[in-house]
Amino acid sequence: MGHEAIICRTKFQKQDGDAQVSSQDDEDQMFVATCFSVQTSSDHWLINSGCTNHMTFDKSLFRNLQTIEVAKVKIGNGDCIAAKGKGTIAITTNSGTKTISDVLYVPDIDQNLLSVGQLIEKGMKVVFENQSCYIFDAVGQKKLQAKMRGKSFSFLPFEEEHTAFPTKLNDMEVWHKRLGHCHQQRMINMKKHEAVRGVPSFTDLLPNYNACQFGKQNRKPFPKSTWRSTQKLQLIHTDVTGPFSTLSIKGSRYYILFIDDFTRICWIFFMKYKSEVAGIFWRFKKNAENKSRCKIQSIQSDNGIEYISSEFNLYCEEASIEHQFTAPYTPEQNGVSERRNQYIIEMVRCMLHKKNLPKMFWAEAANTAVFLQN
C-alpha cells in the first residue's frame, strides 16, 4: 500500500518457495488480471483479456487431461495458485457438444475463464461493442455473442445457441492441408476433372490461412517461354537449391531438381555437398531412361560451378547430351526449375509452419511436396 510493487524495497527479501515458483522469469507463470467473485454462477464462462489460457475448475468437463510440470497462476491480489493439468474439455449446449482445446485445470478458482489472447492466437477475432462481446472466425462469420453482465462479459452454454469453437473442419479445409496447402481453384478443378480419386465435392469456401500467406509471397512472373518439348526427356531442366541453414535429419544441406519439360515430372535428390551433382545426374539419367525407354537429348541449367565442372561436361559429352546454359544472373531464363523450386519451398514452409515442426524436417517435407505435385 502506498507504492508500486516494481519499486518495492523488500521485493527480493522474501524468497520462499512460492515466490521462486511465481518469479516473473518463470515461463510457466500465467497472469490472470481479475479478482474472482462468487456472485456469478460457476457454470458461466467469463471472457477475460487478462488471462493467457482458457481455465476451468471443473475436472468433469475434461475429455482428456494431462498432468503438467509445476505451474503457477498468479491472480489479481498477488497470490499464486497451482495449475494441476491441461487438456481438452467438452461443453454440452443446446446445439450439441462443443470442444475446447488447451484448457488449464485450476481447481482453486471459482470461475471458468475464456482467454481472449488464446482465441486470437487460434485465428479468431474478438470485438467489444454495444455492451456485447462478439467472436468471429477467420472468414468473418460470427460464432458467439456474449452480453455484458455487471461490467463483465460472460455466457452460459445452456442459455442460447453458442458455437464459439469450431467442432469440424470443412472438407475444403481438410483437403487443403492434405494436399500441402494447395490453391482453392486448383482443388476445385481437381474435383471437376476427377484428377484424384476420393476427393469430395467442395461446398464451403477456404478460410484465410496465415501459413499460406507466410509461405507463398512472391513477385510478378517473368514472361513464359513459347517453346515446349514434344517428347519425354527431350529437355531436362535442373537447378540446385541451398545451402539451407539447418541440416536435414540425414545431414543434407542442398537438393537438386530434374524436371522433364514435356511431362513436368520432377525428381528430387538431397546432397551434403555440391560436388555430388555430377554423380547424382548420372544415376538419374540411367534411372529415367530405363523407365521411360527414351534418351535424354538436352539439359538446361544455370552457370553454377557444379554444372560447368569438367566431370559434368564429360558425362554430357559421353552421352551426347546438349548442355544449355542461361545467361549469368538471369534465373528467369531457367523459369521451369525456378518456379518448381518456389512451389516446393512454399509447400515446405506451409507444412512445417502449420504443424510447428523443427526445420530439420525440411528434406522430408520437400520430398512429400514433390510426390504430391507429381
Q: Give the per-residue pLDDT at 123.
A: 84
> Is 36's pLDDT higher than 90?
no
> Is 38's pLDDT higher than 70?
no
Q: Give the per-residue pLDDT at 259.
A: 96
Domain ranges in the chain with CATH number 3.30.420.10: 208-373
> Is 37's pLDDT higher than 90?
no
pLDDT band at 11 (very low <50, low <70, confident <90, very high): low
* pLDDT more than 70, % of the chain: 81
In angstroms, rounded to a whole number, what is the distance separating the alpha carbons of residues 154 and 133? 9
Q: Give the per-residue pLDDT at 138.
A: 79
* Residue 161 or 109, more confident: 109
pLDDT band at 243 (very low <50, low <70, confident <90, very high): very high
* Residue 186 or 91, more confident: 186
* pLDDT more than 90, % of the chain: 34
Q: Give the per-residue pLDDT at 222.
A: 64
Q: Give the per-residue pLDDT at 218.
A: 73
pLDDT tens string 271-305 = 999 999 999 999 999 999 999 999 999 999 999 99
Q: Give the per-residue pLDDT at 96.
A: 58
* Residue 104 or 203, more confident: 104
* Residue 164 or 353, more confident: 353
Mean pLDDT of the chain: 81
* Residue 233 or 21, more confident: 233
Question: The pTM is what?
Answer: 0.46
pLDDT band at 307 (very low <50, low <70, confident <90, very high): very high
> Is 82's pLDDT higher than 50?
yes
In angstroms, rounded to a whole number, what is the distance separating the alpha carbons of residues 342 and 141? 33
Max mean pLDDT among 70-74, 181-185, 217-221 falls in 181-185
In angstroms, rounded to a whole number, what is the distance separating the alpha carbons of residues 166 and 168? 6
pLDDT band at 247 (very low <50, low <70, confident <90, very high): very high
* Residue 269 or 2, more confident: 269
pLDDT tens string 167-206 = 456 778 888 888 888 888 888 888 888 888 888 888 777 7
Distances (CA, A) of 182 to 178, 220, 336, 339: 8, 19, 19, 15
The CATH architecture of the domain made up of 208-373 is 2-Layer Sandwich (3.30)
φ/ψ of residue 65, rounded to 5: -135, 125
Max mean pLDDT among 57-66, 113-122, 344-353 falls in 344-353
